[in-house]
Amino acid sequence: MNTGLPPAGAMDLVLDVRGLMPPEPLERVLDALATLPPSKRLLMVIDREPRPLYGILRQNGFLHACTVRSDTAFEILIWKGSDPSV
């Protein structure tokens, strides 16, 4: 989990990709991030941890925070930023 989490915004984008087969969840999140305004965040809900996504995010200047919900879904909060520790 990365630090430097931006404040929550009422207009954050939620992308629920549970039940989709790879690589569709990755494709959908990358498409959404391509048009995400710098002041907004993307909340991806997925039924497995998207480990390959983390390196792609880092390479493209995005930060993320991962939370496992009680229903075992993963919530990946993604935002544009810079963190010298990553």
Q: pLDDT-derived band of residue 86, with 50, 70 and 90 as boundaries? A: very low
Amino acid at site 82: S
Tell me the mean pLDDT in the region 30-57: 94
Of 82 and 28, more confident: 28
Which backbone phi and psi does 81 adopt, to 5 degrees?
180, -175
Q: Is residue 30 within 8 Å of residue 17, measured between CB atoms?
A: no
Per-residue pLDDT, 9: 60
pTM score, two decimals?
0.82
Share of residues in the chain with pLDDT > 70 (%): 81
Residue 44 Cα distances to 8, 12, 16, angstroms = 14, 11, 6
| pLDDT of res. 10 | 55
Length of the chain: 86
| Mean pLDDT, all residues of the chain | 87
Percent of the chain with pLDDT over 90: 76
Which tokens sit at 54? 């983390």
